[in-house]
Structure 1
Amino acid sequence: MNQQHKISRLNLTTLLFPLALVLFEFAVYIGNDMAQPAMLLVVQEFGVDTSWVPLSMTAYLLGGALLPWLTGPLSDRFGRRPVLLGGVIWFTASCLATYLVSDIHSYMLLRVLQGFGLCFINAVGYAAIQEAYAETTAVRVTALMANVALIAPLAGPLAGAALVTLAPWRTGFLLIAVCSLLALIGLWWKMPETRQPSPEVKLTPRALWQGYSRLLRHGRFVRAALCIPLLAMPLMAWIALSPVLLVEDMGLSALQYGLWQIPVFAGLIGGNLLLALVAERWPLGRSVLVGMWPLLAGLVLMLGSVVFASNRHVYLALGMSLMALGEGLSFAVLYRFALTASIQAKGIVSAGMSMLSMAGYALGIELFRWAYLVAGLPGFAVMALLFAAAFVRLARPQVKLAMAERSDPDLLPQGA
């Protein structure tokens, strides 16, 4: 969209598009979080052992990793709107197709196909958000959307567990499909076309290879994109390892474990809300520099969980809460800076960001797991310190450069 046509004011009408998109995002996320509690009934119905239970999540995430490289360039070629609408239709239909499966192998294949829905969120949907709204408005919208998306990992498992006690397990997929269908109606009604079809965009293997090669050789883009997993990794590792840290190592009950998740997610939500509040008052990027302070303060508290023998869980959870606050203040801005670091079409840029982030998360989870296995809680804390230090070291010059460009628009990369 041309700069003069970008949305700069937020009201109910201008928020309907991102609300519809985040509803689809919510449906895709609970497609994993809500489905897992039903897996014991799935394997029981299909007459297989429980070793198949974790494979459902693996298959879903595999589907999410298979297509981002294609969905972004597809939207550069044919426009954001038809590609995203097609992705929502695909996800809705694949959820309804659960009623057709009769064995575990077809179920797992369907989980891969359902996982394709993940490929359309960042590579197409969020690229359209960045193009539809003026820069600071896009940052505010992205920060607000992140809070809605956070509901999925909190509500999904509980809703899934409750549902399977009241209805057949396939009912969960029916509800997910209904949620996705409502998102489809909203997107069909309110999603603008932010990228006109471009016949000159080639989708041949050679053209895609050249496009991604050029993107990954762009040092500034790679550095900006890597800031995102470096920032988010400690919280991702907390989600993955906190059951072991709090319940097995520190002896907390399952209820206490759940309660200590509340301040962590509250920190992230608070950071997103604060960013939405100050985005139009502060120069874009200042919130990242400010967010580094709670990030570092959280690390100090986390290290307290290693030093002091009593109340270790308090230091650990509150330290993660401060780190989550810093992440909330920074994430949407860093996403914007990475997206505008390259002048290539935003579909391929957002797809490249998605793939770099997924690779970073996969490597980071393994590093945290290895650190915990080798050294326990101290290993977890030291790894968090290393990731935070790497983030600060990499992000500060990137943010200051982006802020300098925005204070002098003539310095901005063409098309940013």
Structure 2
Amino acid sequence: MNAATTTAELPGAGRLQPTRGIVSLLAALAAIGALSTNIILPSFPAIRASLGVSDAQLGLTLSVFFIVFAVGQLIVGPMSDRFGRRKLVIGGLLLFAAGGVMCALAPNFGTLVLGRGVQAAGVCAASVLARAIARDLFDGETLSRVLAMVIVAMAAAPGFSPLLGSVTEQIIGWRLTFVTVGVVGVLLAVWYAWRLPETHAVSQRASLSLGPIFSAYTSLACDARFIRPAIVVGCATGALYGFFAAAPAVLIGALGLSSLQLGLFFAATVPVVFAAGLLVPRLSGRWGPQRTLQLGLALALAGGALVWVAAGRAPGSLVAFTTALCVFLFGMGIANPLGTALALSPFAAKAGAASAMLGFVQMVGAALGAMVVTKLGGLSPMTALGLVIVAAHVLSIAVFALLSRQRLGATA
């Protein structure tokens, strides 16, 4: 299948078989946003020296990205339900590349922050619409399997990006790192344009007026089939980004790793999430999605408790921390894709809005997790991380306990 294929020639949801190429493309679309979030972290010292800014100011390059990314998803989702996915994804990736060039050429810090905002405005379309495209093409267990791979890619990208950023910073510098990421965005746009046609049928297009958009988001927020699994996904994402925020203080400050070892540690955690994602279809097929999601939440909660226990041990307990973290990541890797599938499956006619709303909840969770773990100044970083993971998953389990017994393949 290539770009010459029309939407009318595509099989309906649930009849198209997920090829390796389609799944890889959707995973790449979902991952590029997460990749561009963390890849600049190793470049902070060089940016600080080059532009003469403080550490607090450098934090704006992350917070502006998060804010624009979160709000942009709420705009892109309804637009894709009205105009289709294809133009928004391709145009967004090109805008992302332009933002990267703006960052690379930035003569001052204000221009750099503006460029980061442009990057986020562009890349949010690819990230949010990867899930909507999956919902356009697949249904039921197939959708769950595809989303598992997409979520694994989204979780893996932040793990690899600090290591990749460290390597590019040392070889080509921080400015060309932004150019490189922009080039990746252009190549991904070309791949998408060649590989997939428009997947959102004209017959399913929704209105773009403010009334229906507001109504769509309000109905999603009030629909237990969406909001309960969405909160589960938001809590899982918040716990994950709490780990990203606390990791430098825990691994470098408390456990004595170098910056390169920090990047390698991030990368080494990726196979744990990947293995969990591979198990999701098998476990879900045997026990059902809701029981499997309960298992994932229980494991993630246990991992957070073990992080808390590890914080009370003698300094230098890298093995105890790593073991606890792997339990958390494995549980999160099971729960996150299933929560995503449960949230999106009932809403075929407004998959763009549902995916956008879910992405917004995720980004809010990410911002809260990162903020809370750094604001618990009276606790050690490892203790704060354990507390955030435990609190997030206690909330998830409480919310999930209210989940109505809807089938994964239900339609709105």
The normalised TM-score by structure 2 is 0.84
AA partner of residue 385 (structure 1): V
AA partner of residue 373 (structure 1): G
The answer to whether structure 1 residue 232 and structure 2 residue 241 are counterparts is no
SS at match of 2:207: coil
Are the counterparts in 1 of residues 163 and 264 from structure 2 also a CA contact under 8 Å? Answer: no
1:99-110 correspondence runs (5 A)? 101-110=106-115
How far residue 91 of structure 1 moved from its aligned partner, in angstroms, is 1.8
AA partner of residue 86 (structure 1): G
The answer to whether structure 1 residue 156 and structure 2 residue 156 are counterparts is no
AA partner of residue 241 (structure 1): A
After superposing the two structures, state which structure 1 stretch, 180-189 or 90-99, moved more. 90-99
Q: Pick from 203, 208, 215 the counterpart of residue 213 of structure 2.
A: 208
The answer to whether structure 1 residue 248 and structure 2 residue 226 are counterparts is no
1:245-267 Cα deviation digits (max 9, x unpaired): 34334555556655654664332
The answer to whether structure 1 residue 80 and structure 2 residue 85 are counterparts is yes
> What residue in structure 2 maps to residue 136 of structure 1?
141
For the residues of structure 1 that align with 2:332 and 2:199, how far apart are their CA atoms? 28
AA partner of residue 340 (structure 1): S
How far residue 356 of structure 1 moved from its aligned partner, in angstroms, is 2.0
Are the counterparts in 2 of residues 305 and 311 from structure 1 also a CA contact under 8 Å? Answer: no
Are the counterparts in 1 of residues 162 and 266 from structure 2 also a CA contact under 8 Å? Answer: no
Q: Identify if the C-alpha distance between structure 1 residues 389 and 338 changes in structure 2 by more than 3 Å, giving closer, same or farther.
A: same
Are the counterparts in 2 of residues 288 and 330 from structure 1 also a CA contact under 8 Å? Answer: yes
Q: Identify if the C-alpha distance between structure 1 residues 112 and 396 changes in structure 2 by more than 3 Å, giving closer, same or farther.
A: same
> What residue in structure 2 maps to residue 301 of structure 1?
306
Q: Identify if the C-alpha distance between structure 1 residues 258 and 4 changes in structure 2 by more than 3 Å, giving closer, same or farther.
A: closer
Are the counterparts in 2 of residues 81 and 193 from structure 1 also a CA contact under 8 Å? Answer: yes
1:300-350 Cα deviation digits (max 9, x unpaired): 533432454466443332112111111111211110111135576111111
Are the counterparts in 2 of residues 271 and 325 from structure 1 also a CA contact under 8 Å? Answer: yes
After superposing the two structures, state which structure 1 stretch, 236-245 or 163-172, moved more. 163-172
1:49-100 Cα deviation digits (max 9, x unpaired): 3454333233333331231111000010011222222212222333344565
SS at match of 1:167: helix
Are the counterparts in 2 of residues 92 and 177 from structure 1 also a CA contact under 8 Å? Answer: yes
Are the counterparts in 1 of residues 238 and 362 from structure 2 also a CA contact under 8 Å? Answer: no
Q: Identify if the C-alpha distance between structure 1 residues 200 and 4 changes in structure 2 by more than 3 Å, giving closer, same or farther.
A: closer
> What residue in structure 2 maps to residue 48 of structure 1?
52
The answer to whether structure 1 residue 324 and structure 2 residue 319 are counterparts is no
> What residue in structure 2 maps to residue 401 of structure 1?
405
1:262-341 correspondence runs (5 A)? 264-280=269-285, 282-309=287-314, 312-341=317-346
The answer to whether structure 1 residue 373 and structure 2 residue 373 are counterparts is no
Q: Identify if the C-alpha distance between structure 1 residues 364 and 180 changes in structure 2 by more than 3 Å, giving closer, same or farther.
A: closer
Q: Percent identity?
A: 21
Unaligned runs of 5+ in 1: none
1:111-126 correspondence runs (5 A)? 111-126=116-131
How far residue 178 of structure 1 moved from its aligned partner, in angstroms, is 2.4
Name which one, 1 or 2, has greater alpha-carbon Rg: 1
SS at match of 1:374: coil
Q: Identify if the C-alpha distance between structure 1 residues 350 and 264 changes in structure 2 by more than 3 Å, giving closer, same or farther.
A: same
Q: Identify if the C-alpha distance between structure 1 residues 249 and 327 changes in structure 2 by more than 3 Å, giving closer, same or farther.
A: same
For the residues of structure 1 that align with 2:124 and 2:401, how far apart are their CA atoms? 30
For the residues of structure 2 that align with 1:218 and 1:90, how far apart are their CA atoms? 34
After superposing the two structures, state which structure 1 stretch, 159-168 or 314-323, moved more. 159-168
How far residue 237 of structure 1 moved from its aligned partner, in angstroms, is 1.4
Q: How many residues align?
A: 403
**Aligned residues: CA RMSD:** 3.3
Q: Identify if the C-alpha distance between structure 1 residues 188 and 251 changes in structure 2 by more than 3 Å, giving closer, same or farther.
A: closer
Q: Identify if the C-alpha distance between structure 1 residues 293 and 35 changes in structure 2 by more than 3 Å, giving closer, same or farther.
A: closer
How far residue 217 of structure 1 moved from its aligned partner, in angstroms, is 2.5
Q: Pick from 350, 355, 358 the counterpart of residue 350 of structure 1.
A: 355
> What residue in structure 1 maps to residue 13 of structure 2?
6
Higher relative CO (CA 8 A, sep ≥ 6), structure 1 or 2?
2
SS at match of 1:67: helix
For the residues of structure 1 that align with 2:205 and 2:125, how far apart are their CA atoms? 22
Q: Identify if the C-alpha distance between structure 1 residues 190 and 262 changes in structure 2 by more than 3 Å, giving closer, same or farther.
A: closer
Are the counterparts in 2 of residues 294 and 326 from structure 1 also a CA contact under 8 Å? Answer: yes
Q: Identify if the C-alpha distance between structure 1 residues 283 and 25 changes in structure 2 by more than 3 Å, giving closer, same or farther.
A: closer
Q: Pick from 167, 174, 183 the counterpart of residue 172 of structure 2.
A: 167
Are the counterparts in 2 of residues 24 and 180 from structure 1 also a CA contact under 8 Å? Answer: no
